[in-house]
Amino acid sequence: MGKNKKTSVTTKLSKPNKSSKKTLVSGSINSSKCTAINKTKTLKNKKINFLDESGEILKKCLTKKVNLKNLIYSKNIQNQKKNLLKIITQTLKFKKPLQIIIKNSNLLAEEKSLDEHVALLLTYQLLFFRGLKEFGYYKKIVLKHKETLRKELLNLKNKMGVIKNEDLIDEKFRIEDDIPRYVRVNKLKASMEEVINVFKAQGYELINPDISLFEDGAKVINSFKNLKSKTFMRDIHLNDLLIFSKNTDFHDNKLLLNGSIILQDKASCFPAYILNPPKGSHIIDCCAAPGNKTSHLASIIDNDGRIFAFDHSERRLQTLNALIKKAGCSSVTSSCENFLNVDPNDEIYKDVEYILLDPSCSGSGIVSRMDLLISQQDHKDEVEDLDSLEKLKEEEEMARLKSLADFQLECILHCFKFPNIKKICYSTCSVNTIENEEVVMKALSQNKNFQLCEKKKVLDTWKNRGLNTFQDSEKMLRSYPEQDFTIGFFVALFEKIEM
């Protein structure tokens, strides 16, 4: 009957006459209703499609280890990108407890049509976010299991002995929320004053930090937390660094797009700053990609000199090349080569006096990189066993660390072979002693021509030094996320002993 009425209206619309006036009005009303219904369906479909899109992005991150931000900002999702980034990031943080809850609730076993990645997103929103206010189709599915999911959440919290939901997250991800955004000014493109003025013109307010605050960790964290979205301050240790609120978004800021600023954690700026090569220097960056430290070196020497940047990965070297091009680093020559295969006696390196060595490491100090969230170990068949999610087998981990430490030591010893070398800055983003102080001590024991530089040359205003169980510990530097509000980091500066 509805179809006949619609046909009748269509006929009368195509051949209007006086008697059809009332019908025409009625037809237009029915048409409006249809339009409204279609719009509603479209909106619902958009919401469902948005969630499907989110699930697909999450899946690609976890299975293909691709960059989350690049994925999101390449999508045509108007006015949703920031929200999507937040939801997926938070879902990743809660991934381990979510997997346990979903497994123990039998959600996926009972809902065969529900994708596991969509289930992660939905369960996160139901239990830890604002609930399920949208996504009608998916909402109905998950709400059927609401009580079971909440019961499993409570069971997990009781098992772990925690009260707050946030305490279910690995500590390294909780610390991330306290770390501000650090912005290094690329002096090859703009001065500190010019960058500050641009930020002011964009509506940001410069706050003068109380230097005494940086002596008290509790006050520092409050200072950072009180940074509003449109406020920033200068760092007191590094003269080319600015500090912003952790939620500040720079992805489309013209200063970032034109290379005037580099988004770089404070601790990651230490190696180039501590090496501090003078203008005209010839420098080697041994394991250079993705290029932040390389570009920092170029900025320090003002492109007056030469920087040889090596990385064994062609893909990573492409990332470096793109960065140094945008940053205007004309002093850099990059090569896709394993640094250990570089001949120290090659004529081209005869004037090299400074080396920056930041080799592969465990990354145990990293708290804010997205790839750490993505690379969390999945134990899909063991999610009911909490212990298997909390740590790797000790033997496997120690074997991995020993292998890394052997490689790191080999790199330092190779640096020692360059005939005219003066200083070598060794750094890791690790908090493991085996990769830090132990490697340094072994290197010094195997080559008596080198020593550690005095503390005054290794950012002596920095409070946290090397572990005091080692000789000359004050000459080394450490940073701790929970104390310094940077990534965990280690730096040692070698110098050749003058004969």
368 in helix, strand or coil? coil
At 57 the pLDDT is 81
Instruction: Please tell me the distance from the alpha carbon of residue 311 to that of residue 307, in angstroms, as a whole number.
Output: 13
Active site residue 336: no
Instruction: Please tell me the distance from the alpha carbon of residue 341 to that of residue 119, in angstroms, as a whole number.
Output: 48
For the chain, which residues make up each domain, given as ranges? 2-36, 50-169, 177-263, 267-496
HSE at residue 388, side-chain half, CA atoms within 13 A, is 10
Q: CATH topology of 177-263 equal to that of 267-496? A: no
Instruction: Please tell me the distance from the alpha carbon of residue 394 to that of residue 494, in angstroms, as a whole number.
Output: 32
Instruction: Please tell me the distance from the alpha carbon of residue 277 to that of residue 293, in angstroms, as a whole number.
Output: 13
pLDDT in tens, the chain (499 residues): 444 433 333 333 333 444 443 333 333 444 444 444 443 344 344 444 666 777 778 877 777 555 666 667 666 655 667 777 778 888 888 999 999 999 999 999 999 888 888 899 889 988 987 665 555 567 788 888 999 999 999 999 999 999 989 888 876 666 777 789 999 999 999 999 999 999 999 999 998 776 565 555 555 656 666 678 899 999 989 999 999 998 898 989 999 999 999 999 999 999 999 999 999 999 999 999 999 999 999 999 999 999 999 999 999 999 999 999 999 999 999 999 999 999 999 999 999 999 999 999 998 888 754 544 554 544 333 343 444 444 545 777 889 999 999 999 999 999 999 999 999 999 999 999 999 999 999 999 999 999 999 999 999 999 999 999 999 999 999 999 888 889 999 999 999 998 7
Instruction: Please tell me the distance from the alpha carbon of residue 364 to that of residue 429, in angstroms, as a whole number.
Output: 7
Q: Does the predicted model carry a pTM greater than 0.85? A: no
Residues placed in the known binding site for S-adenosyl-L-methionine: 287-293, 311, 358
HSE at residue 256, side-chain half, CA atoms within 13 A, is 11
431: number of Cβ within 10 Å: 21
For the segment(s) 177-263, the CATH number from 1.10.3210.10, 3.30.70.1170, 2.60.40.10, 2.40.50.140 is: 3.30.70.1170
187 in helix, strand or coil? coil
Cα–Cα nearest to 363, from 178, 489, 484? 489
Task: Write down the catalytic residue from 329, 411, 425, 429.
Answer: 429
Q: State the sign of the Cα–Cα–Cα–Cα dihedral 134, 138, 144, 146.
A: negative
Residues placed in the known binding site: 287-293, 311, 358
Decide the pairing of beta strands 477-479 and 489-496: antiparallel
Amino acid found at 362:
S
Torsions phi, psi of 312, nearest 5?
-80, -15
Task: Answer yes or no: CATH 3.40.50.150 is held by domain 267-496.
Answer: yes
Looking at the DSSP assignment, which residues form a beta bridge with residue 234? 242
The residues, any chain, with a CB within 8 Å of residue 61's CB and separated by 6 or more, are: 68, 71, 88, 92, 374
Cβ atoms of residues 400 and 360 within 8 Å: no
User: 79: which 2 tokens?
Assistant: 């006015």
Instruction: Please tell me the distance from the alpha carbon of residue 422 to that of residue 494, in angstroms, as a whole number.
Output: 8
Chain centre to alpha carbon of residue 210: 28
Structure-token match 């570009």, residue found = 295
User: 199: which 2 tokens?
Assistant: 């930020």
12 in helix, strand or coil? helix
Amino acid found at 355:
I
Structure-token match 């409070």, residue found = 463
Would you call 403 exposed, middle or buried from its count of C-beta atoms within 10 A (0-12, 13-18, 19+)?
A: exposed
Cα–Cα nearest to 352, from 286, 308, 412, 298? 308
Largest CA distance in the chain: 112
Cα–Cα nearest to 493, from 474, 476, 471? 476
Instruction: Please tell me the distance from the alpha carbon of residue 55 to that of residue 331, in angstroms, as a whole number.
Output: 43
Cα–Cα nearest to 288, from 268, 304, 305? 268
Angle at 400 between CA 399 and CA 403, to 5 degrees: 85
Cβ atoms of residues 379 and 390 within 8 Å: no
